[in-house]
Amino acid sequence: MRQFARRWRLALGALGVAVAFVMSGREIHADETCQSPYLPKITGQEDYLYVWTLGAEGVGDGSDKLATIGANPAKQDQYGKVLSSVSVGGRHEAHHGGFNDDRRYLWLGGLDDSKIFIFDVASNPAKPTLTKTIDTFVKDSGGVVGPHTFYPLPGRMLITGLSNDKDHGGKTGMVEYSNEGKYIQTLWMPDNAPYGYDVRVQPHLNRMLTSSFTGWNNYMMDFGQMVADKEAMKRFGQTMVLWDFHARKPIQTFEVPGAPLEVRWALQPRHDYAFTATALTSKLWLIAQKADGTFEAKDVGNIGDPTKIPLPVDMSLSADDQTLFVNTFMDGMCRVYNVGDPTKPKVIHEQKIGAQVNMVSQTWDGKRVYFTSSLLANWDKKGDANEQFLKVYTWDGKALKPTFTVDFTKENLGRPHIMHFGQEQFYKNQIYTEQKADSAKVASR
Amino acid sequence: MGIQKRNPGFRVAAYGLARNDDNRRSDGNRSLFFFGAVCLLLFLLHSSSTHSDMHSDLTAIQSTLHPQFTPPAPGTYSLPPIDTITDHHLLDATGNPVALFDAAAGKIAIISFMYTSCAEVGGCPLAATVLQQIDQMLVKRPELARQVTLVSLSFDAERDSPQRMAVARHALAPRTDWHFLTTTDATALQSVLSDFDQPVAKLWNEDGSWSGLFRHVLKVYLVDTQHQIRNIYSTGLFSAQLVVNDIETILMESTKHSHSGKP
* Three-state SS annotation for B184-241: CCHHHHHHHHHHHCCCEEEEECCCCCEEEEEEECCCEEEECCCCEEEEEECCCCCCHH
B219·A154 Cβ contact <8 A: yes
The stretch A89-103 carries a mean pLDDT of: 95
B207 contacts on A by Cβ (under 8 Å): 445
Distance CA A21, CA B10 (A): 11
What does the angle CA A206 – CA A212 – CA A217 come to, to the nearest 5 degrees? 145
Q: Tell me A248's DSSP state.
A: T
Pairing state of beta strands A183-188 and A199-202? unpaired
pLDDT (0 to 100) of residue A12: 35
The stretch B100-128 carries a mean pLDDT of: 91
Is residue A111's pLDDT more than 70?
A: yes
- Of the candidate ranges A314-318, A413-417, B56-60, B214-218, the one whose mean pLDDT is the lowest: B56-60
**A128: nearest Cα among A88, A161, A85, A169:** A85
In whole angstroms, how far apart are CA B198 and each of A352, B83, B114, B134, B215? 44, 13, 11, 22, 11
B33·A179 Cβ contact <8 A: no
Is residue A211's pLDDT more than 80?
A: yes
Distance CA A110, CA A161 (A): 11
What is the interface size between A and B, counted as CB pairs within 8 Å?
A: 218
Distance CA A301, CA A342 (A): 11
**B81: nearest Cα among A40, A299, A240, A182:** A182
Contact by Cβ (8 Å): A229, A206: no
pLDDT (0 to 100) of residue A429: 59
The stretch A65-94 carries a mean pLDDT of: 98
B3·A343 Cβ contact <8 A: yes
| Topology (CATH) of B23-256 | Glutaredoxin (3.40.30)
What's the predicted TM-score (pTM) here?
A: 0.87
Distance CA B232, CA B220 (A): 5
Q: In the structure, how many helices (H) and strands (E) does chain A have?
A: 7, 30
* Cα B72 from chain centroid (whole Å): 21
* Nearest-CB residue to A205 (from B68, B186, B200): B68
**B177: nearest Cα among B134, B128, B240, B220:** B134
Contact by Cβ (8 Å): B152, B192: no
Domain ranges of chain B: 23-256
Considering only alpha carbons, which residue of chain B is nearest residue A430?
Answer: B201
Pairing state of beta strands A183-188 and B220-223? unpaired
Instruction: Measure B98 CA to nearest chain A CA, in Å.
Output: 23
Helices (H), A146-199: none
ipTM of the modeled complex: 0.87
**A415: nearest Cα among A355, A359, A374, A371:** A374
Longest CA–CA span in chain B (Å) reads 58
pLDDT (0 to 100) of residue B24: 32
Is residue A428's pLDDT more than 90?
A: no
| Averaged confidence pLDDT in chain A | 90
- Which of B202, B209, B214 to mutate against chain A (most A CBs within 10 Å)? B202
pLDDT in tens, A352-409: 999 999 999 999 999 999 999 999 999 999 999 999 999 999 999 999 999 999 999 9
- pLDDT above 90 covers what percent of chain A? 82
* Nearest-CB residue to B121 (from A22, A432, A434): A22
Sequence letter at residue B33? F
pLDDT in tens, B40-49: 666 555 554 3
pLDDT (0 to 100) of residue A43: 67
- Taken as a whole, chain A contains a residue count of 445
pLDDT (0 to 100) of residue A107: 98
Kind plus residue range of the DSSP H or E element containing A52:
strand A48-54
**B89: nearest Cα among B156, B214, B185:** B185
Residues 6+ apart with CB under 8 A from B79: B222, B230, B231, B246, B249, B250
pLDDT (0 to 100) of residue B59: 57
Contact by Cβ (8 Å): A48, A68: yes
Instruction: Measure B213 CA to nearest chain A CA, in Å.
Output: 11
B219 contacts on A by Cβ (under 8 Å): 154-155
Is residue A442's pLDDT more than 50?
A: no
Q: Crossing angle, helix B124-139 and helix B240-256, to 10 degrees?
A: 60
pLDDT (0 to 100) of residue B237: 87
Is residue A336's pLDDT more than 60?
A: yes
Per-residue confidence at A115, pLDDT binned at 50, 70, 90? very high
pLDDT (0 to 100) of residue A129: 98
Q: What DSSP string runs through A287-327?
A: EEE-TTS-EEEEEEEESS-GGG---EEEEEE-TTS-EEEEE
Distance CA A70, CA A282 (A): 34
Residues 6+ apart with CB under 8 A from B88: B99, B100, B183, B188, B191, B192, B195
pLDDT (0 to 100) of residue B58: 60
The stretch A1-30 carries a mean pLDDT of: 37
Is residue A137's pLDDT more than 80?
A: yes
* Nearest-CB residue to B186 (from A155, A204, A434): A434
Distance CA B96, CA B94 (A): 6
- Which of A252, A265, A429 to mutate against chain B (most B CBs within 10 Å)? A429
Q: Tell me B40's DSSP state.
A: H
A204·B55 Cβ contact <8 A: no
pLDDT (0 to 100) of residue A431: 41
Higher pLDDT, A133 or A433: A133
A40·B190 Cβ contact <8 A: no
Reported as half-sphere exposure (CB side, CA atoms, 13 A), residue B142 has a value of 0
Strand order in the sheet with B178-181: B83-84, B228-233, B220-223, B108-114, B148-154, B178-181
Distance CA A319, CA A321 (A): 5
pLDDT (0 to 100) of residue B122: 79
A137 φ/ψ angles, rounded to the nearest 5 degrees: -55, -45
The stretch A142-153 carries a mean pLDDT of: 97
- Which of B26, B35, B40 to mutate against chain A (most A CBs within 10 Å)? B40
pLDDT (0 to 100) of residue B259: 42
pLDDT in tens, B66-78: 788 899 999 999 9
pLDDT (0 to 100) of residue B136: 97
A37 contacts on B by Cβ (under 8 Å): 12, 236
Distance CA A312, CA A335 (A): 10
A429·B63 Cβ contact <8 A: no
Query: What sign has the CA pseudo-torsion B100, B102, B103, B105?
Result: positive
The stretch B105-112 carries a mean pLDDT of: 96
pLDDT in tens, B30-40: 555 566 666 66
Reported as half-sphere exposure (CB side, CA atoms, 13 A), residue B41 has a value of 28
A268·B81 Cβ contact <8 A: no
**A185: nearest Cα among A241, A255, A249:** A249
pLDDT in tens, B130-182: 999 999 999 999 999 999 999 999 999 999 999 999 999 999 999 999 999 99
Looking at the DSSP bridge assignments, the partners of residue A172 are none
Higher pLDDT, B120 or A25: B120
B80·A41 Cβ contact <8 A: no
Contact by Cβ (8 Å): B177, B151: no
pLDDT (0 to 100) of residue B167: 95
pLDDT (0 to 100) of residue B37: 65
Q: In the structure, how many helices (H) and strands (E) does chain B have?
A: 8, 10
pLDDT in tens, B210-231: 888 888 888 999 999 999 999 9
pLDDT (0 to 100) of residue B1: 34
Contact by Cβ (8 Å): A41, A29: yes
